[in-house]
Structure 1
Amino acid sequence: MHSRKTLLSLVCIFSLMGCQPDNKQAIVTQQQALPDGIHLVNVHKAEAGKVSIPYRKYKLDNGLTLVLHQDKSDPMVHVDVTYHVGSAREEVGKSGFAHFYEHMMFQGSEHVGDDEHMRIVTEAGGSMNGTTNKDRTNYYETVPSNQLEKMLWLESDRMGFLLNAVTQEKFEIQRATVKNERGQSIDNQPYGLMEERSAEALYPVGHPYSWQTIGYVEDLDRVTVNDLKAFFKRWYGPNNAVLTIGGDIDVSQTLQWVKKYFGSIPRGPEVDMPAKQPVKLDETRYVTLEDRVHLPLLRMTFPTVYARHEDEAPLDVLADILGGGKTSLFYKNLVKQGVAVNAWAGHPCDELACEFELSVLANPAKVSQLSDLQKIVEQTLTEFEERGVQPDDLKRTKTSIESGLIFALQSVRGKVSTLAANETFTHEPDRAQYDIDRYNKVTAQDVMRVYQKYIKNQHAVVLSIVPKGMAKLAAHEATFEMKSRDLPADLQTVKTDVKAPVIHDDFDRSIEPQAGPAKLPPVPDFWQQKLDNGMVVAGFDSDEVPIISFNIVLEGGPLLESSEDAGLAAMTADLMNEATASYSNEEMSNQLALIGSSISFSAAGRNTIISVSSLTKHLDKTLTLLQEKLFHPAFLQQDFDRIMQQKIQSIEHAKSSADALASRAVSEVLLGNKNRVALPDEGTLESLSHLTLDKVKGFYQRYYNPTKGMLIAVGAIDQKSLLQKLDFIKNWQGEDYDIPAIGDMPPMQKPVIYLVDKPGAAQSVLRVFKHGLTYDGTGEYFRANMMNFALGSMFNSRINMNLREEHGYSYGAWSRFSGGKYLGRFSAGSSVKIDNTGDALKEMLGEINLYQSEGMTEQELAMTKSAYTQNDALRFETPGQKVGFIYKLLSYGLDKNISEQQLNIIKTIGRDELNAVAAKELQTSQMQIVVVGDKQKVLPQLQQFDRPVEMLDVTM
């Protein structure tokens, strides 16, 4: 059975029929039917031959902008509230406020209890989050469409009724959480300080972009809860917000709800569009950052223009030519020559200013000084100037813009996010065709002009990131040092209480709206056929977007290697991504880029996977290139040598990552260090030393065959048409093979705390784990995941709320069951403040022990059942989701009606049954513990536990 969903919006998008904008008289007519206080601004429909996202735009009397996009293809909606405030609206000395409020907005409002926002969304079967950047903050939820009214109630309550719920206690908890986030993502992360150091050198003191969105810790320590409230009152009014709703909506009903929940919120202070503030340097500034890294990094940053400036598009094209993947000059001169592990160029643009970035991650085996890399970069710029802009350079970029837009429109979230951002910054929600047009207009002369104006002989910030104690590797002696921050003499904190606005409603906001009748999505009814060569081909015909996505999965992958040759499957896949008999690597990449397609090979877990995506109109060309890559790899020695060096340096780099060390330690403790499944898919330094090009060729000849393969395709093509195009797959032959049995596991020893020393670490990484259940669709594994939902699988879980919200030890904590065909494990973990390592571990173990002994509550059971039931509406939206669902069914031999079977379990299962699973699976006396942290600070904290502490050196 084929799926042919009626989707007017995307029919308009891709010009399968002509749609014309409504005239002014039609708008006047529609205005008469609107609720009081809501005004129709524009009805936007697509025109034939153009790419666009249809929408209706409204304005409320209080200044709130409302954008609606109707998409009936799936029973789900995406709600986005974007406030035109980011870190650029902050004051000097009061950095990090916008990001801080991203946290506070989830802590409850006047009519929504503490942490209830996340519980409600989770229970509704949805997902939610918030993001902050330099120029805007957004909050969003994706939920089943019957939950829309509830989401509008939640968002309106924190827009209009947040201030009275912001307490000193919440302020202190979230201040600690933000510090933990900074520690985890910046201070304890290799290269984590790169953006901060670069911005400090590029922008003058006081420029809105001279500090990072997360802010400085000393600023967060300085301010009070009233400073935060004053910031909210200044910037978070409805007149500085855009509410965008897309999906399965009834437009008339949605307008009534928006009027009800948002209409009474008073407008805030007036907000003007900020003035553009591009910068210009009067000298090249050399900066050196010593960090806990293995690979030195060089970054050159040139100031340019601002977003939507006429020179933005040609600068983007220039960045693509210089460092945009395998077709670029950086790839040819730096990566392919082996002097760099990676090299790239980019032109990130923000509302007030843009930056042109040239970045090179050095290969220390080939280059000893970053000054040598800088010379190659400068020589590459000279080469570009002499070479000029070639026709394919422009065509690649233009094609990537068009295909990128189309792929982004696969999901309702993608469309809503695009509409929201465009309205916030340009007051025109749909700029899709505008973007395509402005890139299509870029000429070779434009690109050379912006190169001459912004890059050639221009001053830049040259940042060298080098290992601790090795400043001599820098590209140049530092000429710029960030001085201590001079704060304004008149900087003051807010001393008086900030009052919330008085809002009058004709309904009781404390009553949570009820959800409407649930609409469960149809499960993809795919077709399947087994070919004579053993390969199973399956597909789902969906014309929602004009693209085809498919995976070829060859079972075995890393499991087919010996421990001595660990990494062979991954190395083979990497070389399949390189040159072929008829195309160099660069030529193949260019051919794919010119049609907006991608083909990639990878090997992980128990599979080798070939992933393909293509616009429907270019499928034949894409399949021709796939045949070339699949059947005619060149397997060149120089490619092998280069990739080997990259892998070695990547492993060396991983030694500086606490998370990577923790992952390796867990595998060694659970699985041993000799068993193949214990070793990384990419191999170890020892196993890589055994690999040769001949072994790669042998692996390809033996195991790249269809006998244990699957091809799963989703897109705008029917079964007959697809099979006609797959003759080369039908004719593919090979000899069947066996997958080796998994070797013996080491017996679990007495409970131990294994400590991996990471001197100087700002945080500790905790892992608590044991062998667990293998995957099943309706058995104990499924029940174990249900049981664990309240313990550690959602934001409001016991473990996360304890470590993050109650104690402020962590940015996030979790627990999970992960299972495959033959192996499974239970694990819990977090990154925590180094000084609270022991306290955090004690709390984590305490939560697991309590849950094991007493189980979940009736309230937790009800929330779990609701979340699991409602979440089906979000499971099958995109082609990628459908491919994954079909693969799981075929791989594990599950029935097509597995969703119905699981739903029956969810409805009928009782608390006693799930608690019995907890009692059996959560015994911490059977669990081992790994801690990665600074031994000097951590060891005394761990010695309080009734377990021996053993030092562990992990194999990398």
Structure 2
Amino acid sequence: MVEKYFDAIPRCPAVQPVKVDPVSLTANRYASYTDNYAKLPMLVIDYPTVPDYTKDVPALDCLAEILGQGKNSILYQNLVKKQLALQASASSQASELAGEFTIRLVPLPGKTLADMEQLYMASLDSLEKRGVTDDDLQKFKGGIESGFITSLQSVSGKVSQLAEFQTYTGNPNKTAELLKEYTSLTKADVMNAFHKYIKGKGAVVLSVLTKGQEQLIAHADNYKIDSTHYNKPNYGYAGLKYTKAVDNFNRQTAPPLGATPVTKAPPFYKKELPSGAKIIGVQNTEVPLITLNLTVPGGRLLESGDLSKAGITSLFATMMQEDTKNYTAEKFGIELQKLGSSIRVSGDIDGIVFSVQSLKNNFSKTMALLQERLLNPLFTEAAFSRDKKQTLESFKLQKSQPASIATAAFAKLNYGATNVLGNQATGSEQTVKNITLADIQAYYNNNITANGAKVVVVGDITEAELLPQLGFLNKLPKKAITLTAPAPAIAVTKTKIYLIDVPKAAQTEFRVGYGTSLKYDPTGDYYKLYLANYPLGGDFTSRVNTYLRETKGWTYGASTRVSGDKYSTDYYFSSGIRANATDSALVSLMKELTDYSQNGPTAAEIANMKKAISQGDALRYETGAQKARFVARILDYNLPANYVDTQNQLIATITAAQLKATANTWLKPGQINILLVGDKAAILPGLQKLGYDIIELNTEGDPVSIQ
């Protein structure tokens, strides 16, 4: 196949590497602009550095971690923890021809960008004074080793590494060499990079300002780009001539796909512990890595009884990542990073999830830290005040993002404000204000239990090796947690347009659909709808994306999706559409939905769907996270071990008539919610001509007026 398609293409002239002179700035170059949509200002400080695969790249990566990555970083300690900044981060990005070292600072109200710059410069002084510690190096190297191993879990990861190394270094097997460069890094290397590229060096300092708050600028602009003396490098294009390949076949015809692989789910084991916790696991020895997810029942469904404190689950999960009785949050993070491990806590609809990743040889130490995190949290007023304040400020950022506004308002449209599913997982500004530190402590005291807990583990560990590591679950209370299923979605009797105004928005965010009566079912009506939806909007080559993106050029991407769990399923279209095409795109979309609901997919679309899903399923169970999601589903929904076989059979045998009937049942162009978030002044006149009732909402998703 490779010879057929590539051997006939004539070899081009040798490509000479482009030489770009190193960049250095003798002084800071200040620039600014006002973002009409931003709710908070931001300071960006950008230093020129070096291309990838050069000597100082590892040192710059380590320096970025020390300065601004994680709770132990200098910027977090000096700015975020002291509640002077909402965000403070550092990153090093090395590309093919050049690199950059970037600082991003978002102040909390009351602080200017000039304040941020001064605090940043003071942080550089503190790094100069403290230097690089043994812990800095150990946790950086631990993370690098874990990252290299993690990237090799999938075919995609392996291929990407081989291709990148071959393209940019000429050595596809550079992994060991590169890992050695990182693990041999010294304190002196990092401090040398600090002085060579950052401390006392010129940078581009950009003030991103909010409308009406231009006085928050860091410094008056002192630089404008002068392109009149620019000399373009010689890229080697001069004199090149296109030579067409001579073929005995038609290149416009794609080669046929090979035989559809038979997807086999990974083998697993199941066990129930005396504590009441249920375990499901998959042993996989390809890489020395272990993924473990512990879910304690509860989650957002516990908020249903008191939505005045919606968002408490999310805030509780954040607080569970702060101090413990034996570790500060910073010390806990150092210990994890030294091991190359991670423990993250998140809130789900019906549980609190502890997500663990560890190298095999550090698993016991990582599990000891998980035990500490779960059994000994310390909820302090300082951490609570900081986390609550950051959550409240994050709502301002969301109000500047039409996509975030659309997602939150669409949930409220589908389920209503009195349903937990109609509220954001993070709550709202008002509900979060109602949450107290005592509420967080009560949430832990009343809801953390081993009864009904679930453990999903995937990786290089046997069942016999795992079980002793879970003994600490016996120390948890064994109380029963009662969860009440949320009310079903609000029935839509008539299609209406709901409009949220974001003045001067360049795009209109579309959310078009409804909350169905379906629940997740991998072999029933839910899965049939997934199959029927695939040609319509479930793939890049689908109807809606092809027409709206490729044919009309109105969007960067459009899709229809089926998103569900054991409590609810939404079926909806989403896209960001060019503002001046809003009405035209809506007409085209509704026409497509109507046609598809009446006629279903074509024979060619069905054949492509069956091939694409079957071929794609072969890559669904590669990584530890993918395997964990698969076996977690078996545990959550009490599925048979061979349910994937049933899916394969359904894909192979489903007919055009069945898909048409499914589309006709669940596609309801006359009974859906059309939510549009965009510039009302620009898009309303066109929408008024379409004949729909139009209801204006505010950015909270509540009605403003009816037209």
Change (3 A) 1:617 1:452: same
Give 2:15's match in structure 1, choosing from 258, 266, 271. 271
Distance 1:954 1:605, change over 3 A: farther
In 1: Cα distance, 2:467 partner to 2:232 partner: 73
Residue in 2 aligned with 1:597? Answer: 341
Change (3 A) 1:817 1:745: closer
2:28 to 281, 284, 293: 284
Structure 1 residue 911 displacement after superposition = 0.8
In 2: Cα distance, 1:712 partner to 1:430 partner: 34
Output the CA distance in 2 between the equivalents of 1:520 and 1:827.
Answer: 31
The aligned amino acid for 1:261 is Y
**2:402 maps to 1:634:** no
Aligned to 1:116: none
Query: How much does 1:832 deviate?
Result: 0.9
* Residue type at the aligned position of 2:294: I
What residue in structure 2 maps to residue 548 of structure 1? Answer: 290
Tell me, in whole angstroms, the C-alpha distance in 2 between the residues paired with 1:782 and 1:361.
44
The answer (yes or no) to whether the contact 1:599–1:610 under 8 Å persists in 2 is: yes
- TM superposition shift of 1:514: 4.1
State the TM-score, normalizing by the size of structure 1: 0.70
What is the aligned counterpart of 1:808 among 538, 553, 570? 553
Whole-angstrom distance in 2 between the partners of 1:486 and 1:660: 41
The CA distance in 2 between the partners of 1:939 and 1:487, in whole Å, is 46
Which of 143, 154, 161 is matched with 1:418 structurally?
Answer: 161
What are the Cα deviations for residues 624-653 of structure 1, in whole angstroms up to 9, with x where unaligned? 111111100111111111011111111111
The answer to whether the 8 Å contact 1:277/1:353 transfers is no
Q: Secondary structure at the match of 2:618?
A: helix
Deviations 1:276-306 (A, max 9, x none): 4320113211111211211211111122233
Displacement, 1:487? Answer: 9.4
Residues in 1 aligned to 2:501 and 2:60: alpha-carbon distance in whole angstroms? 45
Amino acid at match of 1:657: Q
1:900 matched to 2:645? The reply is yes
CA drift of 1:605 comes to 2.7
* CA RMSD, 1 decimal: 2.0
Q: Is residue 2:602 matched to residue 1:857?
A: yes
Q: 2:245 aligns with which of 497, 503, 516?
A: 503
CA deviation map 1:825-847 (0-9, x unaligned): 21012111111100001101110
Structure 1 stretch 524-533 or stretch 618-627: which is displaced more?
524-533
3-state SS in 2 of match to 1:880: helix
- Matched with 1:526 is 268
Distance 1:870 1:746 in 2: 37
| Cα deviation, residue 456, structure 1 | 2.0
Per mean C-alpha deviation after superposition, the further-off stretch among 263-272 and 557-566 is 263-272
Q: Report the counterpart of residue 61 of structure 1 in structure 2.
A: none
1:392 aligns with 2:165: no
Report the equivalent of 1:584: 328
1:951 equivalent in alignment to 2:676: no
- 1:824 and 2:569 correspond: yes
Task: Kindly provide the CA deviation profile for residues 899-943 of structure 1, in whole angstroms up to 9, marking residues without a partner as x.
Answer: 111122222221111101111211211111011111110100111
Deviation of the 1:486 alpha carbon: 4.8
What does residue range 292-691 of structure 1 map to in structure 2 within 5 Å? 292-364=37-109, 367-482=110-225, 486=228, 501-505=243-247, 512-561=254-303, 562-691=306-435
Shift in Å, 1:413: 1.1
Change (3 A) 1:432 1:904: same
Cα distance 1:471–1:557, how it changes in 2: closer, same or farther (>3 A)? same
With over 3 angstroms needed to count, the CA separation of the structure-2 counterparts of 1:510 and 1:317, relative to structure 1, is closer
- 2:555–2:577 contact (8 Å) kept in structure 1: yes
Mapped to 2, the partners of 1:460 and 1:855 lie a distance apart of 57
- Is there any run of 5+ residues in structure 2 with no aligned partner, and where? 234-239, 702-707
> Which range moves more in the overlay, 835-844 or 777-786?
777-786
Distance 2:225 2:453 in 1: 57
Match of 1:887 in 2: 632
Of 329-338 and 394-403, the range deviating more from structure 2 = 394-403
Contact 1:535 1:710 in 2 (8 A): yes
Partner of 2:687: 942
State the SS of the aligned residue for 1:341: strand
The answer to whether the Cα contact below 8 Å between 1:536 and 1:709 also exists between their aligned partners in 2 is yes
Is 2:521 the counterpart of 1:779? no
| C-alpha separation in 2, matches of 1:592 and 1:639 | 20
- Per-residue deviation, 1:745: 5.0
In structure 2, what is the Cα distance between the partners aligned to 1:307 and 1:489? 24
What amino acid is aligned across from residue 832 of structure 1 in structure 2? I
Taking a change above 3 Å as real, the CA distance of residues 940 and 631 of structure 1, as seen in their structure-2 partners, is same
Change (3 A) 1:311 1:867: closer
Residue type of the alignment partner of 1:440: T
The answer as to whether partners of 2:490 and 2:515 remain within 8 angstroms in 1 is no
Letter in 1 for 2:266: P
- Mind listing any 5+ residue stretches in structure 1 that lack a counterpart? 1-256, 492-497
Q: Secondary structure at the match of 1:708?
A: coil
Per-residue CA deviations over 1:445-491 (Å, capped at 9, x if unaligned) read: 222222222222221111111102322101111112346x6598999
> Contact (CA 8 Å) 2:282, 2:457: kept in 1 or not?
yes
Shift of 1:890: 1.3
Change in Cα spacing, 1:389 to 1:873, as seen in structure 2 (3 Å) is same
In the alignment, which residue of structure 2 is the partner of 1:692? 436
- Aligned partner letter, 1:537: I
After TM superposition, the structure 1 stretch with the greater mean CA deviation from structure 2, 650-659 or 603-612, is 603-612
Q: CA deviation at 1:711?
A: 0.2
| Further displaced range: 511-520 or 548-557 | 511-520
Q: Distance in 2 between matches of 1:312 and 1:499?
A: 37
Q: Would you say the 8 A contact 1:278–1:306 is kept in 2?
A: no
In structure 1, C-alpha distance between the alignment counterparts of 2:357 and 2:231, rounded to whole Å: 57
C-alpha contact 2:301 2:420 (8 A) present in aligned 1:
yes
Assess if the C-alpha contact under 8 Å between 1:278 and 1:352 holds in 2.
no
- What count of residue pairs does the alignment treat as equivalent? 691
SS in 2 for 1:840: helix
1:394–1:444 Cα contact (<8 Å) kept: yes
Q: Secondary structure of 2:243's match?
A: coil
CA shift, 1:512, in A, is: 4.9
Q: Distance in 1 between matches of 2:584 and 2:422?
A: 30
Tell me the CA shift for residue 679 of structure 1: 0.5
| C-alpha distance in structure 2 between counterparts of 1:607 and 1:458, whole Å | 49
- Name the CA distance, whole Å, in 1 between partners of 2:53 and 2:615: 40
Identical amino acids, percent of aligned pairs: 35
State the shift of 1:513 in Å. Answer: 4.1
Change (3 A) 1:810 1:506: closer
Letter in 2 for 1:610: F
CA distance in 2, matches of 1:289, 1:341: 20
Letter in 1 for 2:165: N
Q: CA deviation at 1:534?
A: 1.6
Letter in 2 for 1:277: D
Match of 2:469 in 1: 725
Residues 753/305 of structure 1: CA separation in 2 closer, same or farther (3 Å cut): same
1:74 is aligned to: none
Counterpart AA for 2:205:
V
Shift of 1:856: 1.4
The correspondence for 1:925, drawn from 670, 679, 682, is: 670
CA distance in 1, matches of 2:101, 2:488: 53
Mapped partners of 2:350, 2:28: distance in 1: 50
Offset of residue 499 of structure 1: 7.9
Q: TM-score, normalised by structure 2?
A: 0.94
Q: Which letter does structure 1 place at the counterpart of 2:447?
A: Y
The 2-side partners of 1:550 and 1:372 are apart by 42
Q: How does 1:15-94 map to 2 (within 5 A)?
A: none
Report if aligned partners of 1:792, 1:800 keep a CA contact under 8 Å in 2.
yes
Q: Give the letter aligned to residue 500 of structure 2.
A: V
Secondary structure at 2:141's aligned position in 1?
helix
1:663-697: CA deviation from partner (whole Å, max 9, x where unpaired): 12211211112222210111100110110111111
Change in CA separation of 1:508 and 1:743 when aligned onto 2, cut-off 3 Å? closer
